[in-house]
Amino acid sequence: MCGIAGLVNCPNDERLAVMTDLQAHRGPDDQGVRYFPEESVGLGHRRLSIIDLSPAGHQPMSNDDESIWITFNGEIYNFNELRTGLEQRGHRFKSKSDTEVIIRLYEQDGADCVKQLNGMFALAILDRRRKKLLLARDHFGIKPLYYYSRNGQLAFASEIKGILASGIYSPDINWQGLYDYFTYLYVPSPQTIFRDIQQLPPAHLLELDLESHEMKVRRFWHLPRESANGNGKAEDYEGAKAKLRELLSDSVRRQMVADVPVGVFLSGGVDSPILTGLMAETSRQPVKTFTVVFQGKNVELYNEQAQARATAEKFGTDHHEIEVDISQPVEMLNLIDHFDQPFGNPTFYLMYLISRAARTGAKVALCGAGGDELFAGYPRYRAIGLAKWARLLPQSARGGARRLMNMMADDFSSATLRRGRQFVDGLDSDFAQEFVNWTYFLREDQKRSLLVLETRNGGFLRSSRIVDEVLREDSIKEIGNRALAVDLQTFLPDNILEYTDKMSMAVSLEVRVPYLDYRVVEHSMSLPFRYKLRGRDSKVILKEAFADLLPTANAKAPKRGFNFPLAVWMRDYFDKYFDAYMGREEMKRQGILDWEYIQLLRAEHRAGKNDNSYPLFSLIMFDIWYRKYISGAGMPEISFA
């Protein structure tokens, strides 16, 4: 796990060194900068040493004749198998690193070599002989990669701050990105909040011809297009279970390979206990497990201490509980420095805390990200299951579907339940728009009220276009798997994996995600939705495939997720930010947000509509970002005493 940076047609290696060093937290163990005057290309690297800790793993790394150079962030889990195959073809290696395997594979297969990589990666390969530069990002966007290109110049980096330090870009707001931010609480790729700075989308390559300056972006992998497996026979289901167990077990085994200590983030529920059990089957030492435990009043809804302890006791782990005092959340507002964009999902704070604690005992940690999106773990998927059935009903019968949803919704939040009813009502409308209305935050009319006229620049594209684009790319007919496909390619990379990467890298911890081995994903997405959701029971095939690894309390516990008391924090602490830093005059000078509408949202929240906590928090995070990156005012001195 590392940080990378690069410049094209910007002959200033001092800038490249600054771009690289700004990402030192991503790789504190080693650094390297290499400039190639003939090609006018510079490559930078910060190293977090995980495999082959020797100097032989130093980057940027070259092949034997120095015609190919690479700077690479990530881990390739099948590198030993790839290495064996390459050695059989006559390739010889100077190191034990997975980085060198990529170089040799590129020598053999060119840009298409990335199709053979099983892992998480963001990389840049300079081919001096062919005068090409290749950028690539892994199948699900586990590792980030940003770039800016104009007038033959290119800057790229693992974090936006690297591009901002390049000297070839002046910060400006991407208004469409801002509009979408208030829909999703993050800026969906390929855009960022900065005009003209892009994210390379997951499973994509960028190929740049260094002579003609022609740049092409193309996709190298797709989700399975249809739910092809399983016709309802018992043997089909049993075969699917066996294959799932085989693939996920192999994924965990591969991802435990490291030359440094490895642990796992352990919560209640299903995903991380399965990982813990599989790790315990492989490890010769007790598995290191880490769990967040809230301290304070009314924290029972959020704590999963008992379930995590049950798993730790079952497998005899070296268990660590990280106590979090919920009365002191101010520190989290300063973490926007690690995102470089406004980011409105406060779960990032818990990821930061558990990563910081885990780093004291491990350099690598596995986590259960992706399990919910693959196996219908979120409560909202139950409403989709009901909607799938209700879609067959005439309009006059849909009232009964809504009543049934009421009966099934004992552990739904009020917001989820209300949006689920709206989804059933809107089944005859556009799927993409209904999905966005139901699943995410501010509606189109609310955003137009929030953003003042001057920022509209002729109007915004509807945020539902993001879902439309996914559905066009991956034509899945079954409504349940369609929803999973959307979340796998939007919510997961741009939200869950975004904060997982940024917060773990903030403390120089590598986090691996075994559920996102592309073989596991391909298998899951090929299965009928009914294998994953059965009535009110979610993750059915996952639970049954690994029933022996799950404590009884975990298998039967309701879905809680990686939760936090945001409504409490907003009421008792964060709401004060608006009066201190976002008053009427401040908003008038800013000219972006409507002060009157913000007061309306605050009033609704104080009246008990707690699902407004997220939009309010996203407003604070935007204001902090704006002060730091656009207005030049810097971070406010935040105090909630």
Residue-wise pLDDT tens digits, 155-192: 999 999 999 999 999 999 999 999 999 999 999 999 99
pLDDT of residue 312: 94
Confidence of residue 346 (pLDDT cuts 50, 70, 90): very high
pLDDT of residue 331: 82
- Average pLDDT, integer, range 446-458: 75
Q: Where are the alpha helices (DSSP H) in 159-263?
A: 160-164, 175-184, 234-255
Closest by Cα among 319, 86, 183 to 614: 183
| Cα–Cα distance measured from residue 310 to residue 268, given in angstroms and rounded to the nearest whole number | 9
pLDDT of residue 527: 93
Q: Where are the alpha helices (DSSP H) in 440-574?
A: 444-450, 465-473, 479-489, 491, 497-506, 518-525, 540-545, 552-556, 566-569
pLDDT of residue 85: 94
Closest by Cα among 538, 548, 139, 535 to 372: 538
Confidence of residue 98 (pLDDT cuts 50, 70, 90): very high
pLDDT of residue 411: 43
Residue-wise pLDDT tens digits, 571-621: 888 999 999 999 999 999 999 999 999 999 999 888 876 567 899 999 999
Q: Which residue would you say has higher pLDDT here, 50 or 430?
A: 50
Measured at the CA of 500, the angle between CA 496 and CA 506, to 5 degrees, comes to: 150
Confidence of residue 196 (pLDDT cuts 50, 70, 90): very high
* Domain formed by 2-219, architecture: 4-Layer Sandwich (3.60)
Whether residue 482 is predicted with pLDDT greater than 70 in this model: the reply is yes
Percent of all residues in the chain with a pLDDT value above 90, rounded to a whole number:
63
pLDDT of residue 49: 87
- Average pLDDT, integer, range 339-358: 93
Mean pLDDT of the chain: 87
DSSP per residue over 282-334, as a string? H-SSPPEEEEEEEESSS-TTT--HHHHHHHHHHHT-EEEEEEEETT--GGGGG
Percent of all residues in the chain with a pLDDT value above 70, rounded to a whole number:
85
Residue 2 catalytic? Answer: yes
Which residue in the list 2, 10, 113, 367 is annotated as catalytic?
Answer: 2
Per-domain residue ranges of the chain: 2-219, 379-479, 566-631
Whether residue 641 is predicted with pLDDT greater than 70 in this model: the reply is no
pLDDT of residue 97: 92
Confidence of residue 390 (pLDDT cuts 50, 70, 90): low
Region for residue 63 given its phi and psi (left: phi exceeds 0; alpha: psi -120 to 50; beta: otherwise): beta
pLDDT of residue 408: 45
Query: Tokens for 366?
Result: 């596995």
pLDDT of residue 304: 79
Confidence of residue 12 (pLDDT cuts 50, 70, 90): low
Under 8 Å between Cβ of 383 and 309: no
- Average pLDDT, integer, range 286-315: 82
Residue-wise pLDDT tens digits, 491-524: 999 999 999 999 999 999 999 999 999 999 999 9
Whether residue 438 is predicted with pLDDT greater than 80 in this model: the reply is no
Q: Which residue would you say has higher pLDDT here, 294 or 39?
A: 39
pLDDT of residue 409: 42
| Cα–Cα distance measured from residue 238 to residue 240, given in angstroms and rounded to the nearest whole number | 5
| Cα–Cα distance measured from residue 287 to residue 425, given in angstroms and rounded to the nearest whole number | 48
Q: Which residues pair with 124 in a beta bridge?
A: 71, 135
